Amino acid sequence: MLIRYLLPALLLIPISVFGQETVSVKGHIINDRGESVEYVQIGIPKLQIGTISTFDGRFEITAPRDTLEFFHVSYQPVSYSITGPADDVVIILHEQELPPAVFIGGDTKEKYLVRPGAKILGNGGIISGSLRNGRSEGREIGSVAQTQKPFLIKDILLSVHSNNIPGCVASINIYRIEGKAESFVNVLHKPIYFDVAVSGHPQDFDIQPEETILLEPGRYFIAFQIVGYDEQAMQDFLAKPEEERTPREMTTDFVIHLKSSYIREAALCEMIHLPVNIGIAVKGLEYQ
């Protein structure tokens, strides 16, 4: 028997959205060199509305007249005020200049910074990520890690139980959790992307970041997110009558692990405490 984690959609939409006129905004996101920027997170945090741009920087969102926020690990955040329908918006992002990682001396030892925790009902408890509405809204879910000493990440490990999203591109992001208000501050210089093949069998991933990720003592959130998919496959899926769609189409499944975490249901929106996670583990070198 499968236990699926599904939050009722209506509970995720604040009452303030109802009754407001919504408009469609379409556009293209580029950098200051005129190059398309892939997989940008776009949202109105207070309204729990969000989406992600395509690999070529195109985006479309339906929202009230409010302020859209644009976020990408490698660029500075940008805002755009929605004044009405638009189909030719151009958003320009400027590169983010984060301080480089500082190497420190001393002895190190290999260590797991975080482990997945115990599985719930073995392989029978499942968390599902779905694109059945036709797009990625930017759901993030992952694991919480805490380090008492500086820690150099060498491997990020996770297992996808099954995947039925053609052309699935996933990302890993790492946030530092700061203060009593738990603000989430990005610590990466560039995105960590990887492909997930269509398969009904488990796939194990050992992601070795290209950049140096040195975590100072503190709490961190290591988040998984689906950012890309095969657009033609999605169009073919949406063209099917409802009765011809199978329950597992356009979904990715993870085995539930019992350890506290966070979930963000739409890009850039509020992180919500979650008593379970999807089994991400992190190992590397701890400085003594």
Tell me the C-alpha distance between 3 and 91, whole Å. 41
Same domain, 123 and 210: yes
Same domain, yes or no: 136 and 260: yes
Tens digits of per-residue pLDDT, 66-91? 999 999 999 999 999 999 999 999 99
> Do 82 and 153 fall into the same domain?
no
Q: Which of 93, 128, 153 is the last residue of a domain?
A: 93
Of the residues 65, 93, 121, the one at which a domain ends: 93
Same domain (yes/no): 231, 89: no
Tell me, what's the pLDDT at 19? 57
Answer yes or no: do 176 and 51 share one domain.
no
At residue 159, the pLDDT reads 96
Whether the CB-CB separation of 97 and 218 falls below 8 Å is answered with no
The confidence score (pLDDT) of residue 1 equals 30
**Residue 43, domain member (yes or no):** yes
Backbone angles phi, psi at 244, to 5 degrees: -95, -5
Residue 256 covered by a domain: yes
**98 falls within a domain:** no
Shared-domain flag, residues 79 and 161: no
| Domain extent for 50 | 3-93
Are 45 and 128 in a shared domain?
no
Rounded-to-integer distance, Cα 48 and Cα 43, Å: 8
Domain closes at, from 40, 66, 93: 93
What's the structural domain count of the chain?
Answer: 2
In a domain, 42, yes or no: yes
**Which residues in the chain come in under a pLDDT of 70?**
1-19, 101-103
Q: Could you tell me which residues are beta bridge partners of residue 184?
A: 177
pTM of the model as a whole: 0.89
Establish if 101 belongs to a structural domain.
Answer: no
Query: What is the number of other CB atoms lying within 10 angstroms of the CB of residue 164?
Result: 19
Per the prediction, the chain carries an average pLDDT of: 89
Q: Are 159 and 79 members of one domain? A: no
DSSP string, 47-86: GTEEEE--TTSEEEEEEESSEEEEEETTEEEEEEE--S-E
Whether residue 99 lies inside any domain: the answer is: no
**Amino acid in the structure at residue 139:** R
For position 160, what pLDDT does the model report? 96
